[in-house]
Amino acid sequence: MAERQPRPTPAREIATASPVAPARAETRAAAERRHWASGLPDADFIRRALIIIALGALVALVWRLADVLLLAFGAVVVAVILRALADLIAHHIPSTKRWSLAIAVILILTVLALVLFLFGRQMRAQIAQLAAVLPPAIEYVLGEFGVDMRKLAEELPNMLGSGLPREIIGRAAAFGLTFLGALADSLVVLVAGVFLAADPDLYKRGLVKLFPPSQHERAEGALDASGTALGLWLKGQLLAMAIVGVMTGTALWLIGLPSPIALGLIAAIGEFIPFLGPILAALPALVIAGSQSTEMLLWTAGAFVVIQQIESNLITPIIQREAVSLPPALALLSVLAFGVVFGPLGLILAVPLTVVAYVLVKKLYVRETLGEATSVPGEETAREEGQS
């Protein structure tokens, strides 16, 4: 009996039984799963979106609280000044930080009271004289440009009948409220500055703890360097203000201009704001000198030019050897930018804020992020103070 031959397997069954087929099916299913999964937001995408939203909310909050943050920075500036004086006292008189700070505050108040006692009457008289001399001087200068103050005074009743009194009263009330608000802000800055100076390490530790533990050392080093740089800049700036005020008052006294002490004080205060401050501080003296005579105007303008040249080319370079040197263009642009964005308070605090930002950018970004070798203002002094 012949042996029965096995039936040949069809090609379709061979393809089905082949191990390649399940692999292709698996590949197709995985591709379909990836396709459907790609259409759904994954955890990374949600996390990044939430981070972007949180950063946007933080920027909006900072913008809304810009005035408060500027006042807080003003308190930091006051604290740096008080702490520097307290450390100087503690270096010569053995005392704790709190006692040295108390002595510093009492010393500042005593000096102010002594100055007011010795020069207060004379300064009040000169300021009153300045207030009496300035309006006629303005009238004279405006008259030189064709503005007739008498004609303007004759037309004033007609202007008052057109509803102008309400506008004047409204503006006067707004100015009074602004002045009272400025006094309240100044008081808050001074009190907060005393609290910050009493225990700066407490607030520094609290700020450092806002960062991840791995970044604590880096944040603390940046805060120390920026605080030391700010202190050095303030010491140099206060010294320059005192020198410019004395030179201006002496020069205007020699010229024979009325109220030289008051005008010298204005020049010293204006020196705190680079570039724009000295120009604004010179305007009252120039207006008064212009009302006296052309010769006195030329002498006064020459005196301010010479004093600014001495300050820019002699006083500032000597002071900046021991303090912080900012690029002039950076200082000028920061004054303009902060003044436009934040108003008078931003104009006053523009350069101190730029000093802090300058140190942080050089340390955290240029050196530690980009890896570029660069010197950081205040870092060496902060390291020496930490070792001592």
323-326 long-range contacts (CB < 8 A, ≥24 apart) are 323/232, 323/233, 323/235, 323/236, 323/237, 324/229, 324/230, 324/232, 324/233, 324/236, 324/355, 324/358, 324/359, 324/377, 324/378, 325/377, 326/351, 326/354, 326/355, 326/358
The per-residue pLDDT for 15 is 44
Select the more confidently predicted residue: 5 or 272: 272
Select the more confidently predicted residue: 108 or 123: 108
Q: Model pTM?
A: 0.68
Give the tens place of pLDDT for each residue, 50-59: 888 888 888 8
* pLDDT at 153 > cutoff 80: no
Q: In Å, what is the CA distance from 241 to each residue of 307, 312, 334?
A: 12, 12, 20
d(Cα 309, Cα 303) in Å, to the nearest integer? 10
For 240, the token pair is 């320059």
The per-residue pLDDT for 33 is 57
Q: What is the mean pLDDT of the segment spanning 281-288? A: 85
Give the tens place of pLDDT for each residue, 71-96: 888 888 888 888 888 888 887 787 77
* pLDDT at 290 > cutoff 60: yes
Candidates 207, 255, 242, 247; CA nearest to 227 is: 207
Q: What is the mean pLDDT of the segment spanning 217-232? A: 86
Q: What is the mean pLDDT of the segment spanning 325-346? A: 81
Give the tens place of pLDDT for each residue, 229-244: 888 888 888 888 889 9
Please report, rounded to a whole number, the percentage of residues in the chain having pLDDT higher than 70.
70
